[in-house]
């Protein structure tokens, strides 16, 4: 009995090490993707000086959004992904303007691999786990490479990041369709939170070319 318990503990430690190594790889992939944050010009100067701060900073600030749009993770900053353009963040910026006035502003956000250790789900996320959807999209693109960048869960930014990761040896061809749940959520849902503040040097105002 004791031998079986020790064997199980060793197996669990082995699985946890593999999971940790896999997460490290995918954090590197995720850091290759561009992210964004939509807001009002009323907050632009403060953001450029102090960075993006969660609502829970020296107390809890009220959300600029109400009802179902109100952020529940008061210790996190909410971000979206690009898919050619920052569609979700443009919507967020216009919502902020409706709430507080000003002009819509979108910040482009550069995240480092370590930032994704602080990933949190967006409360509007409609699925518990997106890995099966991501895998279906990835396998579809394998069969029809001409569709790369045009498929849900495998948009242009995600496709580019994964291609670069495979080329650099971060991911193998076999691994690229099997991300951890947090990465699949970023790729498929396109919105998420990062706990803590995001420093101003990781931000720049996005302007449409």
Q: What is the pLDDT of residue 53?
A: 93
- Which pLDDT does position 11 carry in this prediction? 43
Decide if pLDDT at 201 tops 90.
yes
Query: What digits encode the pLDDT tens for the residues 24-43?
Result: 999 999 999 999 999 999 99
What is the average pLDDT value for the chain, to the nearest integer? 88
Structure confidence by residue, pLDDT tens digits, 101-118: 999 999 999 999 999 999
Whole-number Å distance between alpha carbons of 209 and 207: 6
pLDDT, tens only, 166-197: 999 999 999 999 999 999 999 999 999 999 99
Q: Which residues pair with 195 in a beta bridge?
A: 76
Buried b or exposed e, range 131-166, using 16+ CB within 10 angstroms: bebbeebbebbeeeeeebbebebbbebbbebbeebe
Q: How confident is the model at residue 8 (pLDDT cuts 50, 70, 90)?
A: low
% of the chain with per-residue pLDDT over 70: 84
Query: How far does the chain reach from its first CA to its final CA, in angstroms?
Result: 67
Rounded to 10 deg, the angle between the 2-30 and 181-189 helix axes is: 30
Whether residue 14 is predicted with pLDDT greater than 50 in this model: the reply is no
Task: Say whether pLDDT at 159 is over 80.
Answer: yes
Helix (H) / strand (E) element for 75: namely none
Query: Any idea where the domains of the chain sit in the sequence?
Result: 33-205
């Amino acid at each position: 009995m004791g031998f079986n318990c020790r064997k199980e503990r060793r197996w669990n430690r082995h699985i946890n090490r593999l999971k940790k190594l896999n997460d490290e790889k995918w954090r590197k992939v995720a850091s290759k993707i561009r992210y964004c944050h939509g807001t009002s010009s009323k907050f632009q100067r403060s953001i450029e000086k102090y960075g993006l701060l969660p609502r829970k900073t020296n107390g809890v600030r009220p959300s600029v959004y109400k009802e179902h749009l109100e952020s529940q993770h008061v210790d996190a900053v909410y971000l979206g992904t690009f898919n050619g353009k920052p569609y979700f963040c443009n919507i967020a910026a216009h919502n902020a303007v409706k709430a507080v006035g000003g002009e819509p502003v979108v910040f482009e956000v550069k995240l480092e691999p370590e930032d994704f250790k602080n990933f949190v789900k967006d409360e509007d996320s409609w699925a518990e786990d997106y890995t099966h959807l991501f895998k279906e999209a990835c396998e579809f693109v394998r069969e029809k490479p001409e569709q790369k960048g045009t498929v849900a869960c495998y948009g242009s930014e995600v496709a580019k990041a994964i291609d670069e990761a495979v080329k650099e040896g971060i991911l193998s061809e076999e691994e690229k369709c099997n991300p951890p749940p947090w990465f699949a959520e970023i790729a498929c849902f396109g919105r998420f939170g990062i706990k803590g503040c995001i420093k101003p040097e990781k931000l720049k105002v996005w302007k449409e070319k």
